[in-house]
Chains A and B, each alone.
Chain A
Amino acid sequence: MTEALFIGFAAMLVASSLLVILHRNPVASALFLVLAFCSLAGIYLLFHAEFIGMVQIIVYAGAIMVLFLFVIMYLNLQRDEEGGVHIALRRGLGWVAGTVVLAEGVFMLARRWAPGPLTPEVPGEAAGNTQQLGMLLFSRYLFPFEVTSLVLLVAIIGVVVIAKGRSTAGSGTRPAPGEDG
């Protein structure tokens, strides 16, 4: 049953991600991306990563995509008009380049190329416990965890400075230091 569910979620994920890049209406693209993230959350659940699956929905579907929708509605974007030889040529090249990348990936997978061991370090119970994740996050990964909080702080300051714009000339017009960090 797990395999059947995986195939179902995978089909939904691929179809909705294709529609994200093919649909001309940005709002529809955003909604298909939400669907893609939700099916990905389903796949995470099948891999016994319950915490990550739920956080995927809370963070991506509940926060990030709402922000996307908010911006699309705020800018009142209509359907994209993509015509002309120049653009058609670029689309063609894009598809060719993408296919080449995929072919390369398939080639590598077919040769069973992989760095490091492919067998479990400790054969045992499947990973996926929220408690274990928390333990690891606050012991071995404590420093990166603190650094991410710094990243978020920098992002908040950067966004405030950028979004403030140039309306208040003289103060706050300079870009925030490290907004690209």
Chain B
Amino acid sequence: MIPLSWALILSAVVFVIGVIGVLIRRNAIVIFMSIELMLNAANLVFVAFSQHLRSIDGQVFVFFVMTVAAAEVAVGLAIIVNLFRLRETVMVDEVNLLKG
């Protein structure tokens, strides 16, 4: 039986790694992967509490998160591909047309 606190700490660490990834990287694809890491950290909490509270609702939410993540990745990668076609780069700080 795994203590709930272990899962919460692990999830917090993974979430923060995702946050740091978004902050320090310039490659849009790697930023996207960091967002996936954060989503998965949240999923881990759902599953841990689902086990802890003996209620399966948490796992249903994980299922929904995965569906939304899949849709998000498909749209996001399409945008990145289009961005590359227009600007020949995926570095987010070189895409500053709206900055004026």
A–B direct touch in complex (beta carbons closer than 8 A): yes
Give residues in A with beta carbon < 8 Å to B.
2-3, 6, 10, 13-14, 17-18, 20-21, 26, 29-30, 33, 36-37, 40, 43-44, 46-49, 51-52, 55-56, 59-60, 63-64, 67-68, 71-72, 74-75, 77, 80, 82, 87, 90-91, 93-95, 97-99, 101-102, 105-106, 109, 117-129, 132-133, 136-137, 140-141, 144-145, 148, 151-152, 154-156, 158-159, 162-163, 165, 179
Known: A51-B59, A52-B47, A97-B19. A102 touches B36 (CB 8 A): no
B8 & A136 in contact (Cβ 8 Å cutoff): no
Residues in chain B within 8 A of chain A (CB atoms): 1-2, 4-10, 12-21, 23-27, 29-30, 32-34, 36-37, 40, 43-44, 47-48, 50-57, 59-60, 62-64, 66-75, 77-82, 84-85, 90-91
Q: A166 CB to closest chain B CB, in angstroms?
A: 9
CB distance from B34 to the nearest CB of A (A): 6
A18–B70 CB distance below 8 A? no
Within the complex, what minimum Cβ distance (angstroms) separates B75 from chain A? 5
Beyond A26-B27, A47-B51, whether A59 also contacts B21 by CB under 8 A is no
Contact of A94 among B23, B32, B77 (CB under 8 A): B23
A21-B17, A71-B80 as given contacts; A87 in contact with B55, CB under 8 Å: no
Whole-angstrom distance from the CB of B50 to the nearest CB of chain A?
A: 6
Contact of A162 among B9, B34, B78 (CB under 8 A): B78
Judging by beta carbons under 8 Å apart, are A101 and B19 in contact? yes
